[in-house]
Structure 1
Amino acid sequence: MPNRACLVCGSKHLIKNGSVHNGKPKHQCKNCGYQFVANPTKTTVLSETKQLIDRLLLERISLRGIARVTQVSWSCLQDYVNQRLAHTPHQIGISVKSPARLTIECDEVLSFVNTKKNDVYIWIAIDRDSRKSVGFFVGDRTRKSARQLWASLPTIYRQCAVAYTDFWQAYKTVIPHEYHRSVGKQTGQTNHIERLNNTFRQRVSRLVRESLSFSKKLNNHIGTIWYFIHGYNAELAIS
């Protein structure tokens, strides 16, 4: 490859390093390690393909799997998904018909970002009647995160809803005593949120136990879960 040079350092000490999805060979610079494709073809993701990607993001399939199914290059898919997640609203719009009968269930789910040593907890609150998620926060397992979950709830829920949780101490210090009910799993009062936790692990590939589809960046981790919450709430509204 005498006529080719590294796009970063200009070195001509290159080796072949596999190929991309369309068969074009990749090259790697032995000097700086940069990998590149000579004369890359710029592709545009079609509108129909974007709609398919949007639907696949709601299912238990890795981004690599989506790239294979849609035949979109890895770099184009990453760019599109990152933009999609960045523009996903980080708030929940809920309309309440009968505020006098509001009941919510709250729980937290363990996940990780980049490494299993980096624990990240997903705090969720759902409306028992509609099964919709009405509160959400990603953080550690402290009182501060419990407070952020409570703050994410629409005002009507913070003012009127009875909240069922497990015996984790953080809930007691955040949720007003008159609305809070600490219960064990055997009571069945948190069955719906426990079932949703299982749904999350079954349908969001980043949350599957022993998964290789973990998030490397916290922002993408949060954006992915927000994206699923909006999609899941929309499914419940239709059903």
Structure 2
Amino acid sequence: MDFISDLHLSPDLPQTVAALRQYLESTSADAVFILGDLFEAWVGDDSAALPFEARCVEMLAAAARRRPLYVMRGNRDFLLGAGFFEATGATELPDPVALCAPAISDVPVLLSHGDALCLDDTAYQQFRSQVRQPAWQQAFLSKPLAERQTIGAQMRAASREHQQRAQPITYADADPALAQQWLHAAGSRTLVHGHTHRPQSEQRTEGWTRHVLSDWDCDDATPPRAEVLRWSVQGVTRVTPAAA
């Protein structure tokens, strides 16, 4: 089983899109789990008719015909709806969700995008609470597609400005106490999440393990970033897409 996240697909990142396509066509994984922020922005399922989004939907649909494909909403693409999942054939993942794989382990792994765990990012948590409300989403989706695209671009610009101001040492990370609560409720001792763009694996002194997924950027990053977290009977390993 493979886990990836934070691909932030957009027309501005053609090499990243190409890397994902190659990976989805060639991976030997039994199933692929995309844990949020598959797209840089998704302003409604009607955007699937746009040229770039239509190509991405076709790519995902082809991948889902080859092996099970699971997609979780992130903070960038929280408006992925029923139309997206129907068009791609991907299975919708709630956040968080416990993944049971008896052939690998008798203890489930807890999966999350990770943004809800970053409690210290109070401004974002307020924004998240607002935009996850059904009334807000209904009002937003009732706007013309072009207007929604403009609003989405403005939100992304504000987010980039916020990230540029935040120093890496102070940029919000997952709250350990809340993560431990989630794990206890799920009967799990392993958390896999994305969102923070700080790939690492750590063994917590409280007795649980955290695996943070890498973001993907094969266009602007030097060297390019792309990584797959693989869970198998051999344990958890990190591999490049080309080797997956």
TM-score, normalisation: structure 2: 0.30
TM-score, normalisation: structure 1: 0.30
Q: Which has the larger radius of gyration?
A: 1
More strand as a share of residues: 1
